[in-house]
């Protein structure tokens, strides 16, 4: 139960002794270059701004990264994926991150080129109705220098008028 106290919230948890409590954790793969198709902004589903952020990562504006989840017990020990678990990924700003939910518990987050921050939300529904969530904040940063532009300053006279 969460009670809004204005500037703070009061969280009350009831735990049953001996009942294993599972948690969800992001597994982020190695970033790789995007293609032009990865940079096309897709429509919904949109995530709401997460209440918490479990993990923050920087991603260059021309990269994408595979996402998956791992399940842990309340202490953080890895446990097998619960039978019948369904996982859904959403993003709050598709103009920063193009998110592809593969429908198999994995997703790909691709930077569309704009710099900024987007939040990826994942929700796993377990058999029996329990829901586990996780939130990944991706900060899209500039990539490596690959091009050069000549910048001309303001013009000035070579021979001043007399």
Residue 57 lies in a domain: yes
Query: Helix, strand, or coil here: 152?
Result: coil
- Which residue carries 């703070």 as its tokens? 8
What is the per-residue pLDDT for 57?
A: 92
Token representation of residue 121: 């939300």
- Gyration radius from the chain CA atoms: 22
Residue 159 lies in a domain: no
**What does the pLDDT look like over 25-51, one tens digit per residue?**
666 777 878 888 777 766 656 655 555
How far is residue 7 from each of residues 3, 4, 10, 48, measured CA to CA in Å? 11, 8, 10, 20
Residue 77 lies in a domain: yes
Q: Does residue 2 surpass a pLDDT of 90?
A: no
From the number of C-beta atoms within 10 Å of its C-beta (0-12, 13-18, 19+), residue 126 rates as middle
Of the candidates 119, 114, 117, which has an alpha carbon nearest to the alpha carbon of residue 48?
A: 119
Of the candidates 98, 100, 92, which has an alpha carbon nearest to the alpha carbon of residue 113?
A: 98
Residue 87 lies in a domain: yes
Contact 132, 103 (CB under 8 A): no
Instruction: Give the CATH number, domain containing residue 120.
Output: 2.60.40.1080
Residue 12 lies in a domain: no
What is the per-residue pLDDT for 124?
A: 92
- For residue 32, the enclosing domain spans 20-141
Alpha-carbon torsion angle 10, 17, 23, 84, nearest 10: -120
Query: Helix, strand, or coil here: 162?
Result: coil
Q: How far apart are CA 13 and CA 1, in angstroms?
A: 7
Q: What number is the average pLDDT over the span 91-105?
A: 93
Structural domains in the chain (count): 1
Residue 101 lies in a domain: yes
Q: Does residue 81 surpass a pLDDT of 80?
A: yes
* pTM (2 d.p.): 0.67
């Amino acid at each position: 139960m969460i009670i809004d106290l204005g500037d703070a919230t009061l969280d009350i948890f009831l735990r049953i002794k001996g009942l294993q409590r599972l948690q969800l954790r992001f597994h982020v793969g190695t970033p790789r270059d995007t293609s032009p198709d990865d940079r096309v902004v897709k429509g919904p589903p949109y995530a709401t701004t997460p209440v918490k952020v479990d993990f923050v990562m920087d991603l260059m504006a021309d990269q994408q990264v595979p996402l998956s989840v791992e399940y842990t017990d309340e202490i953080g020990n890895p446990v097998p994926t619960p039978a019948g678990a369904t996982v859904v990924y959403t993003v709050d700003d598709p103009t920063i991150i193009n998110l592809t939910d593969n429908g198999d518990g994995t997703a790909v987050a691709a930077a569309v080129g704009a710099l900024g921050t987007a939040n990826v939300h994942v929700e796993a529904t377990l058999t029996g109705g329990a829901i586990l969530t996780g939130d990944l904040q991706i900060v899209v940063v500039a990539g490596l220098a690959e091009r050069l532009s000549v910048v001309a300053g303001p013009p000035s006279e070579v021979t001043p008028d007399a």
